[in-house]
């Protein structure tokens, strides 16, 4: 006998567990605002319903960008738990709204919570997350891999590997070394792999007083886009850059929320936006940002933080169900950066494209043993 949706959605959430995990990575990566090496910190959350069904989500913070794992863990334990436990699964919007008001910031923790709620709902209804978000508009999403190692010889090996795997989009992280180093890497990739689409991301690495001289050189290299060259607060400078170059200008750190997107349009600071669930607080907010951008004729791209496959899957379902996010995605960490992912089977990449899963929930099983093996701490909240 098939379970009726009304009965499933009335099931209560009876437990919430969260783990602060330190996940080893295989190389150093430098960005305009900071470096990552050794490992990345993520927080994995697990929700359990009355029937024993579970749903997973992931918060992927970066202290220089959107927060810390310690803050996320505290958010789950202290601020989210009272609004999650004993709530019907079908009350997702109410749960998320209450948690949004319960604590400021912690956008990545809020994204993890929405992901877990969607995963749990999908498991119970035997529907993929993209179906819960309106249905998929694409089966595959082009994958972009970032070039960010200060040892470019190591990144040359990565370029060869991803090219052999069918990847045709790369994003060069710039602004952490010299301008000459940036130009050299871009030209090397273009000359050795002419079928690559090469994009550039400064992660706020340039100062306004010197940025135009540098960006005019990059503009002449015919790259796919230039992303966030100056600090997020320099809105006027972003507008002047956009007016001065031919290459499309993409905003990342300047746009965290739908309100930011409205301002970005009004102030004409960009041609496209990087939509990250960790920045904006979840899949629903990400779709709102993309819709606002589309209404103004701007493009959108599926960005990420330092994530495992759990967060990648959440972002993938968002991109798959959002027509406006048409510039591909950068969900490459699970396949090319982590020593070991937290999924039980490989994140679905084939011939340089990310494959949208159709199985229930997120669509790929999570490996709880791997989560527990790299966990530094854990919190558990249960209904009384």
286: Cβ–Cβ under 8 A, 6 or more apart, which residues? 275, 276, 277, 280, 315, 318, 322
Sheet holding 353-355, edge to edge: 140-142, 353-355, 349-350
Residue 6 clears pLDDT 80, i.e. is over it: no
pLDDT digits (tens, 9 = 90+) for 84-123: 999 999 999 999 999 999 999 999 999 999 999 999 999 9
Q: List, for residues 280-289, the tens digit of each pLDDT value.
A: 999 999 999 9
pTM of the model: 0.96
Tell me the pLDDT tens digit for each residue of 166-207: 999 999 999 999 999 999 999 999 999 999 999 999 999 999
Strand 299-302 versus strand 272-275 pairing type: parallel
Q: What average pLDDT does the segment 154-158 reach?
A: 98
Q: For residue 202, what pLDDT is reported?
A: 97
Whether residue 290 contacts residue 275, with contact meaning beta carbons closer than 8 Å, is answered with yes
| DSSP-assigned letter for residue 77 | I
Given CATH 3.10.450.30, say whether it is the number of domain 5-126+368-382.
no
Do 5-126+368-382 and 132-355 have matching folds?
no
Q: Which tokens in the block code for residue 91?
A: 């009350």
CATH of domain 132-355: 3.20.20.120
Domain ranges of the chain: 5-126+368-382, 132-355
The tens digit of pLDDT for each residue in 219-255 reads 999 999 999 999 999 999 999 999 999 999 999 999 9
The pLDDT value given to residue 3: 52
Q: For residue 377, what are its two tokens?
A: 């701490």
């Amino acid at each position: 006998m098939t379970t009726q949706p009304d009965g499933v959605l009335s099931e209560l959430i009876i437990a919430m567990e969260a783990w602060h995990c330190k996940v080893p990575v295989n190389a150093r990566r430098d960005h305009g605002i900071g470096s990552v090496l050794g490992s990345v910190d993520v927080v994995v959350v697990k929700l359990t319903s009355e029937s024993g069904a579970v749903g997973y989500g992931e918060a992927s913070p970066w202290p220089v960008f959107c927060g810390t794992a310690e803050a996320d863990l505290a958010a789950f334990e202290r601020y989210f738990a009272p609004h999650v436990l004993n709530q019907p699964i079908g009350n997702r919007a109410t749960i998320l709204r209450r948690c949004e008001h319960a604590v400021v910031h912690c956008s990545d923790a809020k994204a993890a919570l929405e992901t877990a709620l969607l995963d749990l709902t999908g498991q119970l209804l035997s529907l993929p997350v993209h179906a819960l978000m309106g249905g998929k508009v694409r089966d595959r999403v082009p994958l972009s891999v970032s070039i960010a190692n200060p040892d470019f010889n190591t990144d040359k090996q990565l370029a060869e590997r991803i090219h052999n795997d069918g990847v045709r989009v790369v994003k060069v992280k710039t602004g952490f070394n010299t301008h000459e180093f940036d130009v050299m890497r871009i030209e090397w990739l273009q000359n050795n792999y002419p079928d690559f689409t090469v994009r550039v991301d400064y992660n706020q690495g340039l100062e306004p007083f010197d940025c135009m001289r540098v960006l005019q050189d990059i503009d002449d290299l015919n790259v796919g886009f230039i992303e966030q060259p100056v600090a997020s607060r320099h809105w006027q400078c972003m507008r002047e850059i956009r007016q001065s170059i031919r290459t499309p200008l993409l905003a990342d750190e300047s746009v965290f929320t739908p309100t930011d997107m409205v301002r970005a349009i009004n102030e004409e600071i960009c041609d496209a936006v990087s939509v990250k669930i960790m920045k904006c607080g979840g899949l629903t907010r990400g779709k709102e940002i993309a819709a606002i951008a589309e209404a103004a004729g701007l493009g959108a791209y599926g960005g990420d933080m330092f994530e495992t496959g759990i967060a990648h899957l959440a972002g993938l379902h968002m991109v798959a169900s959002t027509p406006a996010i048409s510039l591909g995605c950068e969900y490459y960490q699970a396949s090319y950066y982590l020593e070991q992912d937290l999924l039980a089977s490989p994140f679905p990449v084939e011939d340089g494209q990310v494959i949208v899963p159709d199985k229930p929930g997120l669509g790929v099983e999570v490996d709880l043993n791997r989560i527990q093996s790299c966990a530094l701490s854990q919190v558990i909240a249960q209904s009384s």
